[in-house]
Amino acid sequence: MTTIRTTCSRCGDVELTTGDVGLELAGEGGEGRYRFDCPLCGATERRPANERVVSILLATGVSYEIVPMEEPLTEAEITRFVRELNEGDWFSELAASD
């Protein structure tokens, strides 16, 4: 089973399976966000997902829904996402695991 490693804003590193993650897309094949319920604290977290992350998550079998993107990403979300991209290696691990 594919393990998706990400971080909870309260708990730090957490491991999820594809069933724990849902994608919220602005349209087919575009960018969006992924959503997960933290397995430790139960909080629902949302993170921006760029096109590459979206395609990787879809390839692992994560379910998705098309939702209206009313709120633009905040600067803080983008900053955090970029930092995680630089620090984290969750999707290289994701891409490697099968």
Select the residue interacting with Zn ion from 10, 46, 52, 83 (CB under 5 A): 10
Residue 46 touching Zn ion (CB under 5 A): no
What are the Cα distances from residue 22, in Å, to 12, 18, 75, 84?
A: 19, 8, 23, 19
Select the residue interacting with Zn ion from 38, 49, 57, 94 (CB under 5 A): 38
Phi-psi region of 9 (alpha: psi -120 to 50; beta: other; left: phi over 0): alpha
Select the residue interacting with Zn ion from 2, 4, 6, 8 (CB under 5 A): 8
Applying CB under 5 A, the residues found at the interface with Zn ion are: 8, 10-11, 38, 40-41
